[in-house]
Chain A
Amino acid sequence: MSFFSVSLGKLVRRVSRLRGGGSALPGLVVEKIDPGFMRRTLTTLPHGVAVVSGTNGKTTTTKMVVELLESQGLKVFTNRTGSNFTRGVAAALLGEVDWRGRLDADVAVLELDEAHAVHFVNSVPPRYCLLLNVLRDQLDRFGEIDKTAQLLQHIAAKTTGTVVLNREDPRVARIADTLTGQDVRYFGLDDSLLGTFPNDDDMRAAPGSPAPAGLSEKPAADVVLRTVGADSAEFEYDGGRVTTGMKLRGVYNIFNAAAALTLARSICGGAAADTDHETLLQALSQVAPAFGRGESLTVEDQPLDLVLVKNPSGFRLGLKSFPAGGYATMIAINDNYADGRDMSWLWDVEFESLRDGGVDRVTGSRAYDMALRLQYDEVAVGAVEPDIAAALAAFIREGQGRPKRIFCTYTAMLAIRRELSKITTVEVVS
């Protein structure tokens, strides 16, 4: 069965590549004819499978974990295509296995969307999982925020070895109480940095009103992010503090570095002698942001930053991490399925920080919803153009000589990258 299904899957993969088709189809084919394929292939890896899930930061964090493990000489299989659904994993797997279905890797690190992770862990129980956060994102798909927390809880319950949890997100940290038998480790944040991470619950609360109860007593964390500098960060682990340079920008990306470090240390054996901490830190300092996550391109000799915004917390953090001063600003809001159809979330973000310079252009299928939102926050809007290609061209033309920044939803970012690829070097993801 294995030889047949793997061969067929690889063939479908080749054909669908030739046709320029989607990345998940070959995975679907193999899943249908050989449902045990993924489990057989992945569970035989020496270090097993690690699943990374949560609302924000999955892609960047997964990328960091992979690079950290590679720095320790491990061969890592990951779903790099950004297809974070089960079929995407199967499809990525088909690209890596040999014709007999064997995978030459020590460990698999997989980024999985919350709902799909549940299906995945039911068929492939992971040895490790890393749960980042539960925020308001695509609630139109999952229902309520508590429901999303339950999905993460299920992933933790199916994990056979170590569960890594965000100590600062009460919904994630509380998952520990429901676990029996798993080794639980936390990553945490210095109290002085907590204020830079508004959570959804206190998003609209009056100043001073209490946030929902976190853990009554903070458990010790394996890795704590202590301070963040302009291009450095200080982490605490094993009872000591170390400062390292960082290529990543944005406090939330660097907090995810603490998450990645915790998972990587778990997989490599923590403080064990065989972990080379110097190379681990060196690797961490070299991690570049995943596409669209605070990535900076160059267009006509000026920087152009792409900031992916998928939910209110991400948008607020984006506005906070990338101040508007001196920049030409465009906002691109689509409401395709992958973005979430509900536009309500725009009203949970405050845009006062854009008031001084205004927003030059608003685009995307819901450009006018965004313009209306800005108007109610008294932010001046230069022009509204729902067509992304036209808006981008005008934005670049009129922003000549100024650095530029585009806040964009997921599918808007894909469209912008396709357009940018015609004039500059940019990784296009389909």
Chain B
Amino acid sequence: MSPETPVPAAAPHGDNKGVLRVVQLYPRDMNIYGDWGNALVLQQRIRWHGYTPELLEYNVGDPFPDGVDIIVGGGGQDSGQLVIQDDLQARAGTLKDLAEADTPMLVICGLYQLFGRFFKTRTGSVIPGIGILDVETHGTDERLIGNVKVATPEFGEVLGYENHSGQTTLGSGVRPLGTVAKGTGNNSSDGHEGARYRNIVASYLHGSLLPKNPAIADFLISKAAERKFGSFEPGTPDDRFVGPAREHAARRPR
């Protein structure tokens, strides 16, 4: 090792404030652009806050796990979205009940779209969503790609990377995650990015989203702990790299 202050890689895992169960939705078919990073960040930060993480995967055809505390889902290619479509519809009731019961959820890109009411492709065919979020998405020929900066009321400045051709508009049942300061976000007209509803955070941003935006990760974890244990007692994660990583990312070109 170099003689300069070595960084302890992780906080001690000693405390045990209880188990939080994180379920990754469709990691086999909907995990593009590093969305695994979001699950990993949740797992580690749960630990760093002194709780015990349990990370489960839910794929097409699996029995749906019980006792879900947090749900995380990622983006996929068009082909991945077709593969999960029927299974997602079959699980719509379960997921909707969890959402209405304030289960914290993070859905990125493809699953953000499918958590909405529908996705209408360029050719006019309609892929139904599961209608948890009051949003609709229309496929376009234009691919929105690049670094994104979003001003949000709840999580401060959010940084990420977008790569999508579907354009999403929000209905009155949801509010935007924030307002785009660089990049495009939900669509090329209204300047909004993502959606918020109950304890659901929906966003187009990869990057992965959570590593450089730990405020969102801690929001999901705190809500999960509050639901399960009545309160959230935060630990002290070592976030020494987060500040400079955000500063450097914010300065990069689109």
Contacts and interface: CB of A to CB of B under 8 A. Distances in A.
B34 A347 contact: yes
Contacts of A343: 34, 161, 207, 249
B2 A360 contact: yes
Interface stretch (B123-131, B193-201, B239-247): B239-247
A375 interface: yes
A375 B7 CA distance: 9
Given A139-B163, A144-B78, A342-B161, A348 B34 contact: yes
A369 B245 contact: yes
A351 B9 CA distance: 12
Interface in B210-254: 211-212, 238, 241-242, 244-245, 247-249, 252-253
B241 A140 contact: no
Interface centre among A144, A201, A312 (most CB of B within 10 A): A144
A368 interface: yes
B33 A365 contact: no
| Residues of A in contact with B, size category | 35 or more
A397 B48 CA distance: 35
B1 A384 contact: no
Query: Which has the most chain A C-beta neighbours within 10 Å: B41, B208, B212, B242?
Result: B208
B6 A380 contact: yes
Contacts of A203: 31, 36
A102 interface: no
Interface string B9-47: 110000000000000000110011111110011001000
Contacts of B102: none
A389 interface: no
A381 interface: yes
Given A347-B36, A348-B34, A386-B248, A375 B77 contact: no
Nearest to B77: A144
Contact of B241 (A335, A344, A372, A377): A372
Q: Which 6 A-B pairs have the closest CB atoms?
A: A347-B37, A382-B2, A344-B34, A347-B34, A368-B245, A344-B33
B40 A368 contact: no
B79 interface: yes
Which residue, of A146, A206, A360, A366, has the highest number of chain B Cβ atoms within 10 A?
A206
Contacts, number: 142
A205 B161 CA distance: 23
Given A347-B37, A381-B7, A358 B1 contact: yes
A144 B145 CA distance: 12
Interface of A: 136, 139-140, 143-146, 201, 203-206, 209, 312, 335, 341-348, 355, 357-358, 360-361, 365-369, 371-384, 386, 394, 398
Contacts of A394: 2
Given A375-B9, A376-B44, A378-B10, A344 B161 contact: yes
Contacts of B59: 205-206, 209
Contact of B4 (A143, A366, A382): A382
B34 A384 contact: no
Contacts of A140: 145-146, 161, 163
Interface residues of B, number: 48
Interface string B125-154: 000000000000000000101110000000
B57 interface: yes
Contact of A368 (B7, B31, B238, B244): B244
Given A209-B28, A341-B146, A382-B6, A146 B77 contact: yes
A384 B165 CA distance: 36
B3 interface: yes
A344 B143 contact: no
Contacts of B63: none
Contacts of A373: 37, 211
B9 A346 contact: no
A368 B241 contact: yes
Given A146-B77, A365-B252, A375 B37 contact: no
Contacts of B163: 139-140, 143, 342
Contact of B9 (A209, A378, A386): A378
A360 B2 CA distance: 5
Given A347-B40, A380-B9, A386-B248, 4 more contacts: A344-B34, A345-B33, A368-B241, A378-B9
B2 A372 contact: no
Nearest to B3: A398
Nearest to A372: B241
B36 A204 contact: yes
B192 interface: no
A368 B248 contact: yes
Contacts of A381: 6-7, 9, 241
